[in-house]
Amino acid sequence: MDIEYVHLEHDGKLLLVNLDGRGPVKPQMGRTQSENGFSIRLPSITEVASMGIEWKLRRTNRIRLDSDEFVVNYGIPDIAWPEDWAWKDSVISDSAVDPLARESVYRTIHRVVSKVVIRNSNREVLMAKVSRGFFTGCWTLPGGFVDYGEHPKDAAIREAFEELGVEIQIPAANASNLETDNEDGAIVQTKIFNDEGITWVSFTYKCESDLIGQKIYPKDDEIEEARWFSKEEAMRVAVSEFDIEAINAYLG
């Protein structure tokens, strides 16, 4: 029977053990060599129980490294703040930490994307048919990954220009009010789509514009086509759950 490991995290602290299952153990950020391979790892379910730690399961991820597949249970420990546990941020850069533990931490980092619903005076929404990436051959809203240090609103404006060659403006209110139930704010959504555990966070903004005086130039290596859709058409061709929710909310 395969061993199931446990990822217990509390306010930036992570429980790690040594190869004998004893802990907590702290990694050394920036350590580039380890004499005998890794010596720090995630604990097993049995090892956590032996420490007397009670915890609540949040989700289970399957992680594949080379040809091996591991099961990692992500949970919330029922304890006070664990000062003697490892800082989560120190795990990835220590070569003494088991690659499974480093990958487990990596899976908990949000992937942030930003999009925009560009609606014209005919209540049509501008969509792009993607020619590469996850949604190849499908219609999506203009948008993409948020760059490091970039505000999601700025990312939406940048992506509209990079993908379609259009310059847009997003009302200033959208930059600060991010409540999903506020008509002037961005729609913020988060979802884990499969058992690999990658967490996606999507910011979708609204822009009212007929793009007067502008010509749409789809990016050669990324966008196959771009055109306006009615709400009904857009809802029918859209494949992203984030897009569908935003279109439905913004086009009423």
CATH of 4-107 given 1.10.110, 1.10.3470, 1.10.287, 3.90.79: 3.90.79
**Closest to 70 measured CA to CA, from 62, 81, 80, 59:** 62
Rounded to two decimals, the pTM is: 0.82
- Domain map of the chain by residue range? 4-107, 111-250
Strands of the sheet containing 55-65, edge to edge, are 55-65, 68-77, 4-10, 13-14, 86-87
Q: Phi-psi region for residue 149, left (φ > 0), alpha (ψ -120 to 50) or beta?
A: left
Which amino acid is present at 119? R
Give me the count of residues in the chain: 252
Which CATH architecture does the domain made up of 111-250 adopt? Alpha-Beta Complex (3.90)
- Same fold flag, 4-107 and 111-250: yes
Q: Which two tokens stand for residue 232?
A: 């009904």
Bridge pairing between strands 223-229 and 125-130: antiparallel
Ordered per-residue pLDDT tens for the chain, 252 residues: 578 999 999 999 999 999 999 999 999 888 887 666 899 999 999 999 999 999 999 999 999 998 899 999 999 999 998 999 999 999 988 999 999 999 999 999 999 999 999 999 999 999 999 998 888 999 999 999 999 999 999 999 999 999 999 999 998 754 444 344 444 479 999 998 888 888 899 999 999 999 999 999 999 989 999 999 999 999 999 999 999 999 999 987
